[in-house]
Amino acid sequence: MIRFLTRSKSRPAMTRCIARITIVLFLFAIFAVQSKAQDQNPPPPPPPPGQSTQPDQQEPPPPPPPPGPEQAPPAGDQGAPPPAVSPQQLDQLVTRIALYPDPLLAQILTASTYWDQIPDAATWADEHASLHGDALADAIREDNLQWDPSVLALIPFPSVLNMMAQDPGWTQNLGDAVLAQRADVMDAVQHERQQAYNYGYLRPSPYDNVVNDGGYIEVLPVNPAYIYVPTYNPAIVFGPPAPGFFIGGAIRFGPAIVIGAGFAPFGWAHPYFGWRTHTIFFDARPWGRTWVNRRVYVHPYAHPYVHRPGPRVEHHEFHRDEGHRH
């Protein structure tokens, strides 16, 4: 009797054990089938660095050839243009450079559109400030510098690059305005020059000719190969002089920067402005970079600078020269 009751109680336990074994065998069969399927269709390898990891995305087609100055890349690749800057704000934006000679000003305006390249260029220029003339132009080529020619054009002017690098917000705002409102920027320069001229500060000097035709004021080097960087206080030269103030000492000039033929590939082959048409010229070709085509525009220099494939290098020792900062 006791044995019968024990057997009766053990039957449910045996039933549960058999059910569990059956489930385990069933799951094992499913996993085996899935494993075999995976062996036949292995997962795709990870994409190369920089390629999107989104599923079902085909390899992108090769990029189209760079469009000309008047063409634009596909819509949606540009981002929204910066907010429009008022004439009063533009006047303030350009005060520190409005009285620079036209060739140097043209380089600053265009280089500011590559504002992200300015800090590295300023560092390199500072480290190589002991080099001048053809030796400096040769060092730019030997080191295979990768920056835009408009930025390379400012290498002989470490003080200008440092001014731009030390105030990156100003430099980017200027560059964005040049791309989106070039005509307004050039008008602001003319407005400030007219103010300085009317108050008697902007006048011809042994360094620059000041040509005022009644509509536009040009500041042209007496010798195009010698560029002098002016130094002035915007709070003084764009306002009426105080009684007894000596106007002639308000604008001072640094030492001459000699720009020889070696710098022609960097935009120094006759840079100038078409003030009436709001145009900047390099190598007698209008500079056509705008907010729309800024990612693809390449200026058609007559003798363009072409750097070698590969990274920037240092082929010579540099010597920081605090006594030759211009």
pLDDT tens, position by position, 17-76 = 455 555 444 444 433 433 343 344 333 333 333 333 333 333 333 333 444 433 444 333
Radius of gyration from C-alpha coordinates of the chain:
34
Contacts of 218 (CB under 8 A, 6+ apart): 102, 209, 210, 211, 273, 275
pLDDT score, position 116 = 97
> Tokens for 31?
């996993």
The answer to whether residue 309 scores a pLDDT higher than 80 is no
pLDDT score, position 300 = 84
Q: How confident is the model at residue 121 (pLDDT cuts 50, 70, 90)?
A: very high
Residue closest to 234 by CA, chosen among 94, 103, 90, 85: 94
Question: In the predicted model, what is the mean pLDDT of residues 90-103?
Answer: 98
The answer to whether residue 257 scores a pLDDT higher than 70 is yes
